[in-house]
Amino acid sequence: MVARSNGYCNSIIARPWDKPEHLHPTNWVVTQAIDFLRRRDTRKPFFLYLSFHRPHPPYDPPAWAFEQYMETGTAMPEPPVGDWTDLYAQWAEPLDAQSPVGQIDPRWLRRARAGYYGHMTHIDHQFNRLQEVLHEFRERENTYICFTSDHGELMGDHHLFRKSLPYEGSARIPLLLAGPRAGAIQHGATPDQVAELRDVMPMLLDCAGLPIPDGLDGRSLLPLARGSDAVTGWRSFLHGEHTTLGQNIHWLTNGREKYVWLSGSGDEQLFDLKEDPQELRDLARQPAHAARVAHWRDRMMETLADRSEGFVAAGRLVAGRPVTPVLPTLPTLPTAPAV
């Protein structure tokens, strides 16, 4: 089999980085961060934002990181395959290294996953390099560090790829916070509350002792990281969506269950994330769980009730409505006058 293209930014084609390692984007970001720390005015606090492009495609970690996952006998968990993969079968393009759906040649998949895992190992090493410099500059004890991501990659889970779908390989991301002893963060604490990227900004303001503006959608996670039992009114679930495959795919989760609704077909899914974290069993296909599906369907209708697409009418979810990546109700920026 031959991939149709290896230049596309979401292709799963993988090969080791073919230049000196210090030129790799992951190394470059950390080198620039270290240079900033060396030059900065130490009399003032600092905010340093590092954006690692990888492990987004292209999957091109250094050879040492790629090859350790290509070696025979290297343990990588097999991609989970649920009992519901037929749901996306109509979009499968098994010979296409760019397709978000399909069963591909196992050799391609192993190389792609070796590149993905290799990128993460490479980032781990470079992040440790940064922390060592923070120690050398005597900044580590005075610094809060937040590590997170915008999305994961499905990498063959359930015969799916890329980021547009709501399953754990894509939607569940790391969110780690460390800080000085004075910050009272509980080492190893794993709060049960559901969080998302909109919580990062208020959390960092809180860490810095700065006021958090009113009217934000997000909330500071710092009290949760400190183990506080006094956090009240936390959101009961998250809503996510993505326009893909000609429809909107919506999902709700409270961290224990996940409900998915495909706006084009009207298909529903329900997963018990505590008992089935790999989403192998779609409970919506089992009549015994109809009440739980109905509970989440009601929550979805509440969430989408005022949407301009008309996803809710006459007390039910309406499938087949036209969708667009940008809602027409969103404000637009004024255009500049012609010169």
CATH code, 247: 3.30.1120
Spatial distance between the Cα atoms of 186 and 234, rounded to a whole number of angstroms: 19
Domain co-membership, 144 together with 252: no
Residue 121 domain boundaries: 21-173
Q: Per residue of the chain (339 residues), what is the pLDDT tens digit?
A: 334 444 567 888 899 999 999 999 999 999 999 999 999 999 999 999 999 999 999 999 999 999 999 986 677 889 999 999 999 999 998 767 678 899 988 898 999 999 999 999 999 999 999 999 999 999 999 999 999 999 999 999 999 999 999 999 999 999 999 999 888 999 888 998 999 999 999 999 999 999 999 999 999 999 999 988 778 889 999 999 999 999 999 999 999 999 999 999 999 999 999 999 999 999 999 999 999 999 999 999 999 999 999 999 999 999 999 999 888 777 666 666 655
Domain co-membership, 147 together with 65: yes
The tokens describing 166, both together, are 């709501």
Residue at 7 is within a domain = no
The tokens describing 197, both together, are 């990227």
Residues 6+ apart with CB under 8 A from 188: none
Query: In one letter, which amino acid is 274?
Result: K
Q: Are 206 and 222 in contact (CB under 8 A)?
A: yes
Domain co-membership, 124 together with 268: no
Residue at 183 is within a domain = no
Residue at 334 is within a domain = no
Residue at 227 is within a domain = no
Total domains in the fold of the chain: 2
